[in-house]
Amino acid sequence: FPEDLPSAARVTRTEQAGGTEVFSTVEVSLPEPGPGQVLVETAAAGVNFIETYQRSGVYPVEHPFVPGGEGTGTIIAAGEAVEGLEIGRRVTTSEAATGTYATHFLIDAAKAVPVPDEVTDQQAAALPLQGATAHYLINSTYRVAPGETVLTHAGAGGVGQILTQLLKAKGARVITTTSTAEKAEIAQAAGADYVLSYDTFADEVREITKGEGVSVVYDGVGRDTFTGSLESLGVRGTLVLFGGASGQVPPFDLQELNRRGGLFVTRPSLQWYLRNAEERAWRFSELFKALTSGDLTLNIGGSYPLAEAGRAHDDLENRRTTGKLLLVP
Ligand code: NDP
């Protein structure tokens, strides 16, 4: 354990479930890496929708709770039995990181992803959760083929912009939705071929596809779009429900899938798509390749001081953001 380490870390944590006022930023002792773990000094931590569910109590957690499922920084200490990663190495997180709303965080070395030199800290911090999600959605949950027409919601959002760019790189035709004209421009800049409004998208998708419907819908909005997403699908189409930014989808009659053409519905999450080292390496090497080739540009919509995590949540929940939000210590 190196001797020149700081004596304390700062964390932004929730003291109880509730609104954004439940956050406070406090000093804690520097965490010590256990066997197989590394201690990372945070350059930037990503903000994700799931942390708003944890803060508000939609997903119950034990308080005080330090949110944060992704972060990028430099390894400053390593526990026993860490192989292949050394102090000074820049890493980002894959799945299952916790507590990255902090100046320092621990991660299992096996789940730390070394950052190539040509990728900046900001890019690396903006990539992992949303990038890996977009990657598994279009390559593994439903494998999109060149020329296929796809509907994906919230095209100016974090996952939305990455999805669109990776879909375009595959040669797909992308239809998306946004809530404002400004966001529509951002979705278009990411490559969307059609940007529709939430009120009329299902009818417009039918028109665009000459009545056929699309073969797949990627829906992270949930409650408000679910029915329209089903209506947008062609026979044997697949609805990939990957989130609930507008709320969770209520219980649902499976016969509905039969009536609408033998549809498929799945509710995936990242942990089921990063099941081993090979899968992790495959997804991240393709994502880093897309970043360096220019197929993928990460749009940082907001960078907030660590102590202002509440403001980041407020902006995210109230649809004021586009692209990726970062917290910087
Ligand atoms: P976004 O940046 O996409 O933000 C959410 C967007 O959803 C908003 O900006 C807004 O865009 C749209 N939206 C539509 N209706 C509402 C509403 N009622 N309230 C708030 N937002 C609404 O967030 P992320 O990219 O971080 O995440 C997108 C989704 O992906 C989330 O549901 C998240 O939980 C999910 N996710 C799922 C993963 C998985 O593996 N299953 C992993 C990572 C994320 P607009 O104003 O244009 O409508």
Beta bridge partners of 10: 27
pLDDT of the residue at 95 = 83
C-alpha–C-alpha distance, residues 13 and 123, integer Å: 25
Q: How confident is the model at residue 2 (pLDDT cuts 50, 70, 90)?
A: low
Could you report the per-residue pLDDT of 193-235, keeping only the tens digit for each? 999 999 999 999 999 999 999 999 999 999 999 999 999 999 9
Residue 303, phi then psi, degrees to nearest 5: -125, 120
When pLDDT is cut at 50, 70 and 90, the band that residue 4 belongs to is confident
What is the number of the ligand 1 atom nearest to the C-alpha of 247? Answer: 18
Closest CA to 48 of 277, 227, 229, 269: 269
**How many residues in the chain?**
329
C-alpha distances (whole Å) from 92 to each of 49, 107, 111, 114 are 19, 10, 9, 6
Let me know if residue 315 belongs to a domain.
yes
Residues touching ligand 1 (Cβ under 6 Å) are 48-50, 129-130, 133, 154, 156-160, 178-179, 183, 220-221, 224, 242-246, 268-270, 316, 319, 321
Assigned domain for 143 exists: yes
CA of residue 180 to ligand 1 center, whole Å:
15
Does 303 share its domain with 259?
Answer: no
Ligand 1: residue of 56, 242, 300, 325 to mutate (most ligand atoms within 8 A of CB) is 242
Q: Tokens 């899938």 correspond to what residue?
A: 257
Secondary structure (3-state) at 135: helix
Atom of ligand 1 nearest to the CA of 178: 47
Are 119 and 143 within one domain? no
- pLDDT score for 186: 98
In this structure, is residue 292 part of a structural domain? no
State the total domains in the chain.
2
Q: Please tell me the residue having the least CA distance from ligand 1 atom 34.
A: 243
Q: Let me know whether 155 and 171 are in one domain.
A: yes
Same domain membership, residue 246 and residue 178: yes
In a domain, 2, yes or no: no
Q: For 18-39, how does the pLDDT look when each residue is reduced to its tens digit (9 = 90+)?
A: 999 999 999 999 999 999 999 9
Of the candidates 254, 271, 288, which is a domain's last residue? Answer: 271
284, part of any domain: no
Q: First vs last Cα of the chain: how many Å apart?
A: 23
48 Cα: distance to centroid of ligand 1 (angstroms): 9
Residues 15 and 118 in one domain: yes
**What residues make up the domain containing 50?**
8-127+298-328
Q: Whose CA is nearest to atom 16 of ligand 1?
A: 246
* Residue 249 in tokens: 């989808």
| Whole-number pLDDT of residue 1 | 61
Q: Report whether pLDDT(167) > 70.
A: yes
Same domain flag for 145 and 249: yes
| 212 and 93 within one domain | no
CATH code assigned at 257: 3.40.50.720
Looking at the predicted structure, is the pLDDT value of residue 130 above 80?
A: yes
Closest Cα to atom 3 of ligand 1: 157
In this structure, which residue's CA is closest to atom 17 in ligand 1?
246
Q: Whose CA is nearest to atom 2 of ligand 1?
A: 157
Nearest to 183 by CA among 309, 305, 299: 299
| Strand 104-108 to 112-114 pairing | unpaired
CA of 221 to the centre of ligand 1 (A): 6
User: E strands of the chain, at which residues?
Assistant: 8-14, 23-29, 37-47, 71-78, 90-93, 104-108, 112-114, 149-152, 173-177, 194-196, 214-219, 233-241, 264-266, 300-305, 324-328
Work out the pLDDT band at 82, boundaries 50, 70, 90.
very high
Q: Is the pLDDT of residue 3 over 80?
A: no
Closest ligand 1 atom to residue 198 Cα is: 48
Q: Are residues 108 and 182 in the same domain?
A: no
pLDDT surpassing 80 at residue 178: yes
Q: Is the pLDDT of residue 48 over 90?
A: yes
pLDDT at position 57 over 70: yes
- Alpha carbon of 243 to ligand 1 centroid (Å): 7
In this predicted model, what pLDDT tens digit does every residue of 285-312 receive, in sequence order?
999 999 999 999 999 999 999 999 999 9
Question: Could you tell me if residue 66 is inside a domain?
Answer: yes
pLDDT in tens, 244-253: 999 999 999 9
- Domain assignment present for 309: yes
Do residue 98 and residue 149 come from a single domain? no
Share of the chain above pLDDT 70, in %: 99
Are 117 and 141 found together in one domain? Answer: no
CATH number, domain containing residue 85: 3.90.180.10
Residues 134 and 258 in one domain: yes
The residue whose CB lies within 8 Å of the most ligand 1 atoms, and thus the one to mutate among 159, 179, 227, 314, is 159
CA-based nearest residue to 94, from 285, 320, 290: 285
DSSP strand pairing (8-14 vs 149-152): unpaired
Please give the mean pLDDT across all residues of the chain: 96
Same domain, 49 and 167: no
Assess contact for 114 and 94: CB atoms under 8 A: no
Q: Using CB atoms within 10 Å of the CB of residue 60, give its burial: 0 to 12 exposed, 13 to 18 middle, 19+ buried.
A: exposed
**DSSP 3-state of 35:** coil
DSSP assignment of 202-232 equals HHHHHHHTTTS-EEEEEESS-TTTHHHHHHT
CA distance 113 to 100: 15
Q: Is residue 281 part of a domain?
A: no
